[in-house]
Structure 1
Amino acid sequence: METNFTLLILFSILPIINKYLFWFYVIQLKEYRLDRFREYISTLQGKKAILNFWAYIEIPVFIIVLGYYLNPLLENTIYSVVVSLLFLETIFVISKIVKKHLFFPKITSRFLLTFFIFIFVEIVLFSLCKNIFLFILINLVLPFLFIFLSVFISLPLVNKIKKKKLLEAKLRSKITTNPIKIGITGSYGKSSVKEYLSQILEQNHKVLKTPKNINTELGISDLIIKKLKNKFDYFVVEMGAYKIGEIETLGDIVNHKYGFLTAIGNQHLALFGGIKNTIKAKSEIAKKVLENKGILYINWDDKNIRKASFNKKLNIVKYGIKDNCDAKSDIIEVKKMITKFDFYYKGSKTTFKTNLIGTHNIINITGILAFCFDIGLDKDELKSILLNIKMPENTLCIEKHKDIIFIDDTYNLSEGGLYAGLEALSYFKDVNRKILVLDDILELGKKSGKIHFDIGKKIGKNKLVDKVFYVGINNKDDFIKGLVAGGFKVSNIIGDLDWVKSGDIILFEGRKSGIQLNKILGKK
């Protein structure tokens, strides 16, 4: 009996650690937000994560264990079954470790503290528990219970720390008066605008910008407290939000004079509760601009931004490539991956060339150029910078490997961002086949199925690609139905990239598509 129980504990350790690592990874990915975590577990992907292969085995075994109470003679058999199951699960986890497929959260003090406490408590409970029925119950339920508790219990403490940190950051930003502060928000395009603008300003000025993935209240507050000083000339801040009020809070913290509103789309629709709320939330960037008597630059080509209402006293510059813009660009030609365009602003015309391709990039650059003209940057210097500007990491980055062209757009996925990627793909003419590797667009709520169907239909109808490999889980059926409805051949829907060959070009859209990209490039 003692030997059996020792084996039970021994073979439970790795499976339990694997469960905790995965769920902490998910919680971190969802920024410890209950609204984002709730949205995740409501999706097919989230449900499969809970009721995975091992859960479907463990639950029946738990029921079988009840037989032990009905017939004690089955004790040894039941122990053997459970030990064998846990042994197989341990081998499975070891194989994931060897293949480096284990999900691993970022190492933070919050994660380490809760992780080791939970693992210790589970092992202690296992060692004290001499009942196989309770053992299986603990193994099934406790990891999920602890993960939820880690969010709920820590919430009051986290909110207290957060409130204190936000106040400290707000005061620091107010007394640090030298840097000109620029806030950038939008459903998509904000990271690109932040990076392009920062690269231009860094040529002759000291610039502090928010790092990759830092666009929330706590992340920005940490940056302000640790790094914002009067030695900087500019502070460029990317601002993210999931509900009404969050951009306004960020504005109070950053105290920006200038603002950019890049686009408003259906990203995080489930969390905002509808496009009207998204428009209202993103428009909050205007409040602090008005208070500081600055300028708000808005993408007037975006239909949802045109629906936003702004204070009449607010100084607004409308930018884009369509008519009725204050700052407007006309694309003249795209040749050898160089875009030539005319920029019109305040009665003057300037011709620029840039190594950026795609309408979305020229729209972004148009808003940035309007800002640069307003602060008096040299036109000739701007011409030189735009020819050698760098794309943000994992954002339409082009790489060639064994005569195959890869477009890496795996950083973030939205409907608008996907169409921007497909447009970039269209500029490549002398290629063999155009292939799209696509992940799910997340947090779209009840409209998720329809949006994916419509995207699929548009891709199929307009013959935007030759082959499609859908790597997402939640909306695969909806997307494929849309493809077929748009006239896309089922035979061109593929399940792997083993057959790609010289001359092909592949567009990778979304985080999971990055796994396929790394496989081809031999990256871990």
Structure 2
Amino acid sequence: MISIIAFIILLAFIVRSLRQVFYQTYLWQLKEYRWDRFWSFLKTHQGRQLIFNKLSIFKWILFILIYIFPIFNSRLRGEIPSFAVIIYSFYLFWFTWILELVLSIRDLYLKKWRLPVFTPKSVLIIIAVLSIQFFPLINIYWVSVLLLGPLLDKILAPSVVLSVTFFNLPSHFFRLIIYKQAQFKIRRLSRLKVIAITGSFGKTSTKTFLEKILSAEYKVSATPGSFNTDLSVARHINLNLNENIDFFIVEMGAYRRGEINKICQLVSPHTGIITALGSQHLDLFGSRQNLIKAKFELIDSLPSGGLAIINSPDPLLKPMIVKAKKRLDNMLLINKSEMTKNRQINKTFLQFDLKLNNRLFHFKANLIGEQNIDNLVLAISAANLLGVSMPVIQKEVSTITPPAKTMQIVRDTKNLTLIDDTFNVNYEGILSAINYLKLYHGLRVIFLNPLIELGNKSREFHQNIGKKAGDICHFLITTNLNNYPDLLSGINHSEKRIAKLLLADNKTVTRIREELTYDSVILFAGKESFKWISFFIKI
């Protein structure tokens, strides 16, 4: 009987260790193995729960009773505390593993395990941590796992951190090799012209639209999806560029100053486009001024004969623009309000008139949401300056489709429309998406993945999102508890206060499905909301 119990405890330890290693590796991978991004995550409700959840605190108390209190007490009083205290602390610790085993089996059945993408780096991290966790198993006295278990339990997270730090070193070396190979290759492609696009949001859409328009008359290559780091750009160059390509469109992302400059040193852009500057990753940049300076590294890298296209309504950009004008021969400043007229946003398309070269041109696109007008204006203006005629541009714009998971209608019936905006992770885009929901007269619902890395603006921005949703949506459903009080405060301070704030779960889904009426709409915003689309796609 004792052997069976010991086996169950050992199995529970193995399963909970596997799940925790997978989950924590997944988190680090999600944050690109970056300390700054992981630290920003730890400051969220989810991050704090990773460390200070009730079970973890309970384990720490038991850990102290087992390993630390006896030493402290014996030095103070010269005696070891009651043996029973230590034994019962072990029993309780082992019981927590059995509890975790039951929950893990349940969550595995419900497909709630979070697994990393199994790359060489993530596999090495997992192997390293599990080697530390399971090394007592190679001992003939495998029962030592039960005695060392509480210690192994509490060093799992630090082991993941150390493994990530260790394997970042060779990873940096291999990144450098890939970077240098790409730099050597692209410098031999003499006919190639590089268009670089950066900004806080709108990068991927603008890139996709510009690629579609330019492809009508040129051979174009573009970085796929939202791949916008120096490594992903270098890999694309090594695998896909050749001497037949006319234009290479590069999306550039950054979390700190200097990172865009590094990509620019790789590709040497001739044309630079800044889409819009918001507050995305503000926590990492430290200030909005640092964010602006980081994005303008693209403009600073252009040759004097290059072309800069800047979405410029923000007055904070003025000093940077004045500085750039002194050096660059060609610069176009975009202001949607001044350049467009007769803007119409419909449920399945948008249209507007654009003033370019002192002429007015009409455009219609099968896109939704007013934010796409900004992206289209940038793409149209760039394509025209790069040699594509207006009739050709108008034709291509009429057949443009949205990038995957970006204000993309995935179901459209008379009773229910589902909009996948799960790629969207920016404040301005979410406000614009919520505003679009006003076109529907039935139930209006948004599943929201609360935003991250907003620094000291996080509370204000989530209150504003709540306030916007409070006037337009009937339900605001959040995928986690990050900034939950701020969203609720925003709803309570809205004018109409029609929105109910709920946490996403099966009960909430059932309630929404029961309350759907004619001409209802559900918007899914942010990555975590994607899993909830399947609950409505077939009803």
TM-score after normalising by structure 2:
0.88
Deviates more, 1:68-77 or 1:352-361: 68-77
Specify the alignment match of 1:25 in structure 2: 26
Q: Measure, in 1, the Cα distance between the counterparts of 2:134 and 2:125.
A: 14
Q: Measure, in 2, the Cα distance between the counterparts of 1:179 and 1:346.
A: 27
Q: Measure, in 2, the Cα distance between the counterparts of 1:150 and 1:512.
A: 27
Matched, 1:395 2:396: no
Quote the offset at 1:179 in angstroms: 2.7
Do the aligned partners of 1:9 and 1:123 also contact (CA within 8 Å) in 2?
no
Supply the AA of the counterpart residue of 1:373: N
Specify the alignment match of 1:457 in structure 2: 467
Quote the offset at 1:480 in angstroms: 1.1
Do the aligned partners of 2:26 and 2:116 also contact (CA within 8 Å) in 1?
yes
Matched, 1:252 2:265: yes
Matched, 1:380 2:394: no
Where 2:502 maps in the other structure, the secondary structure is coil
Deviates more, 1:498-507 or 1:176-185: 498-507
Specify the alignment match of 1:498 in structure 2: 510
Question: Deviation per CA, 1:325-368, whole angstroms, max 9, x where unpaired?
Answer: xxx22235345633232222122222222122333211211121
Q: Measure, in 1, the Cα distance between the counterparts of 2:299 and 2:23.
A: 39
Quote the offset at 1:57 in angstroms: 4.1
1:224 to 237, 244, 258: 237
Quote the offset at 1:282 in angstroms: 0.5
Percent of pairs identical after alignment?
26
Supply the AA of the counterpart residue of 2:227: I
Q: Measure, in 2, the Cα distance between the counterparts of 1:372 and 1:122.
A: 56
Specify the alignment match of 2:41 in structure 1: 40
Do the aligned partners of 1:194 and 1:238 also contact (CA within 8 Å) in 2?
yes
* Equivalences for residues 468-483 of structure 1 within 5 A: 468-483=476-491
Specify the alignment match of 1:520 in structure 2: 536
Supply the AA of the counterpart residue of 1:272: F
Where 2:302 maps in the other structure, the secondary structure is helix
Matched, 1:118 2:126: no
Do the aligned partners of 1:484 and 1:490 also contact (CA within 8 Å) in 2?
no
Where 1:412 maps in the other structure, the secondary structure is coil
Supply the AA of the counterpart residue of 1:10: L
Q: Measure, in 2, the Cα distance between the counterparts of 1:492 and 1:474.
A: 17
Question: Deviation per CA, 1:67-115, whole angstroms, max 9, x where unpaired?
Answer: 9974446787666544443223112112222211111111211111221
Gap change, CA 1:107 and 1:177, over 3 Å in 2: farther
Q: Measure, in 1, the Cα distance between the counterparts of 2:87 and 2:347.
A: 73
Where 2:327 maps in the other structure, the secondary structure is coil
Quote the offset at 1:174 in angstroms: 1.5
Specify the alignment match of 1:466 in structure 2: 474
1:319 to 334, 339, 360: 334
Do the aligned partners of 2:340 and 2:353 also contact (CA within 8 Å) in 1?
yes
Where 1:175 maps in the other structure, the secondary structure is coil
Supply the AA of the counterpart residue of 1:211: P
Supply the AA of the counterpart residue of 2:483: N
Specify the alignment match of 1:139 in structure 2: 153
Instruction: Structure 1 unaligned segments of length 5 or more: list them.
Output: none
Matched, 1:441 2:454: no
Gap change, CA 1:117 and 1:471, over 3 Å in 2: closer
Question: Deviation per CA, 1:281-323, whole angstroms, max 9, x where unpaired?
Answer: 11111123235x2211111234444453332131211123223
Do the aligned partners of 1:9 and 1:127 also contact (CA within 8 Å) in 2?
no
Specify the alignment match of 1:421 in structure 2: 433
Supply the AA of the counterpart residue of 1:473: L
Do the aligned partners of 2:369 and 2:407 also contact (CA within 8 Å) in 1?
no
Question: Deviation per CA, 1:459-483, whole angstroms, max 9, x where unpaired?
Answer: 44xx232332233322110121122
Supply the AA of the counterpart residue of 1:413: V
Where 1:322 maps in the other structure, the secondary structure is helix
Matched, 1:511 2:523: no
Gap change, CA 1:246 and 1:388, over 3 Å in 2: same
Do the aligned partners of 1:65 and 1:133 also contact (CA within 8 Å) in 2?
no
Do the aligned partners of 2:468 and 2:494 also contact (CA within 8 Å) in 1?
yes
Q: Measure, in 2, the Cα distance between the counterparts of 1:4 and 1:71.
A: 24
Where 2:536 maps in the other structure, the secondary structure is helix
1:353 to 364, 368, 391: 364
Gap change, CA 1:490 and 1:61, over 3 Å in 2: farther
Matched, 1:344 2:355: yes
Quote the offset at 1:492 in angstroms: 2.8
Gap change, CA 1:168 and 1:71, over 3 Å in 2: same
1:210 to 223, 232, 237: 223
Quote the offset at 1:275 in angstroms: 0.4
Specify the alignment match of 1:410 in structure 2: 422
Specify the alignment match of 2:56 in structure 1: 55
Gap change, CA 1:412 and 1:233, over 3 Å in 2: same
Gap change, CA 1:209 and 1:388, over 3 Å in 2: same
Gap change, CA 1:15 and 1:185, over 3 Å in 2: same
Q: Measure, in 2, the Cα distance between the counterparts of 1:387 and 1:53.
A: 55
Gap change, CA 1:73 and 1:178, over 3 Å in 2: same
**Alignment RMSD (CA, Å):** 2.6
Q: Measure, in 1, the Cα distance between the counterparts of 2:131 and 2:4.
A: 21
Where 1:47 maps in the other structure, the secondary structure is helix
Do the aligned partners of 1:4 and 1:79 also contact (CA within 8 Å) in 2?
no
Q: Measure, in 2, the Cα distance between the counterparts of 1:26 and 1:322.
A: 41
TM-score after normalising by structure 1:
0.90
Question: Deviation per CA, 1:368-390, whole angstroms, max 9, x where unpaired?
Answer: 11122122223333222212211
Where 2:166 maps in the other structure, the secondary structure is helix
Instruction: Structure 2 unaligned segments of length 5 or more: list them.
Output: 71-79
Do the aligned partners of 2:15 and 2:104 also contact (CA within 8 Å) in 1?
yes
Do the aligned partners of 1:320 and 1:366 also contact (CA within 8 Å) in 2?
no
Gap change, CA 1:303 and 1:442, over 3 Å in 2: farther
* Equivalences for residues 59-138 of structure 1 within 5 A: 59-63=60-64, 65=66, 70-72=81-83, 81-128=92-139, 130=144, 132-138=146-152
Q: Measure, in 1, the Cα distance between the counterparts of 2:125 and 2:133.
A: 12
Gap change, CA 1:410 and 1:131, over 3 Å in 2: closer
